[in-house]
Structure 1
Amino acid sequence: MTAVNLSQKLSKFSDCWSPKIISTYNGNEVMLAKFEGEFVWHSHPDTDDFFLVIEGDVTIEMPDKTVTLGPGEMYVVPKGVEHKPSTKNGASVLLIEPKGTPNSGDEKTAAVKVEI
């Protein structure tokens, strides 16, 4: 295993809302994603959803509150809580989820995750 350079990995792709796997541990995938605009309302019934903003800003709407994150800030959406991430100016985000978790909460509409 070698060190992972997040900036280098982020430079390898431009598509948004399509997480790229950069590492794994204990059955979890560590991913990078670029956000632009709004994602869909969704939930994950079996797992929490971890967001760490690297660049930009991210707003996570939930039924009972809204959380806004800047660079270096993180938030964990509890499992089963419906949420909608969005950004006004674009963002780069580190995500951690159990392997195989669909990013949209639905296998049919989820992005295909590839390792970079």
Structure 2
Amino acid sequence: MKTVNIVEKLSLFSEYWSPKIVGELNGQQVKLAKLKGEFVWHKHDHEDELFFVIKGKLQMFFRDRIEIIGENEFLIVPKGVEHKPVAEEEVQVMLFEPATTLNTGDKRNDLTKEILDKI
């Protein structure tokens, strides 16, 4: 057991849309990521995702609305729901999701990360 300093971990990388694993518990992974720009429309057929915004403002597009997630707020995207994260400026997030979750869900493209770094 060791304390994890989120600010320190976020300082270890600069690339966007490339989650890093910072912890694991009960089949779930705790990930940190930096986001900027638009991601892809996708869904996760079998996994819910929790987006906790540490810094910045994240827009989560759904087919029928847009949810704004501010600092110290989180949003849970239920499995099977199509969504697209958008960050006009850099956003730092913590993600909680099953270890089997692929970042691009049901889509595979140049943003897909099959293997995530542990930091």
Indicate whether the TM-score tops 0.5. Answer: yes
Aligned to 1:7, what secondary structure does the other structure show? helix
| 2:42 equivalent in structure 1 | 42
Identity of aligned residues (%): 45
Aligned to 1:115: 118
Amino acid at match of 1:115: K
Give 1:31-110 correspondences, 5 Å limit. 31-106=31-106, 108-109=108-109, 110=112
CA RMSD, aligned part only?
A: 1.1
> Cα distance 1:107–1:24, how it changes in 2: closer, same or farther (>3 A)?
farther
Gaps in structure 1 of 5+ consecutive residues = none
CA contact (8 A) 2:60 2:83 kept: yes
SS of 1:8 mapped into structure 2: helix
Answer whether contact 2:17 2:33 (CA < 8 A) is retained.
yes
* Deviation of 1:52 (Å): 0.2
Question: Per the alignment, in what secondary structure is the counterpart of residue 4 of structure 2?
Answer: coil
Gaps in structure 2 of 5+ consecutive residues: none
Distance 1:101 1:107, change over 3 A: farther
Number of aligned residues: 116
**Letter in structure 2 aligned against 1:70:** G
Q: Could you tell me whether the CA contact under 8 Å between 2:53 and 2:70 is conserved in 1?
A: yes
1:63 Cα offset (Å)? 0.9
Comparing 104-113 with 91-100, greater Cα deviation is found at 104-113
Query: How far did residue 65 of structure 1 move?
Result: 1.6
Q: 1:108: Cα distance to partner?
A: 4.1
Deviations 1:67-88 (CA, angstroms, capped at 9, x unpaired): 0011101000111000000111
Answer whether contact 2:47 2:79 (CA < 8 A) is retained: yes
Q: Tell me how far 1:50 sits from its aligned partner.
A: 0.6
Partner secondary structure for residue 102 of structure 1: coil
> Alpha-carbon deviation of 1:106?
3.9
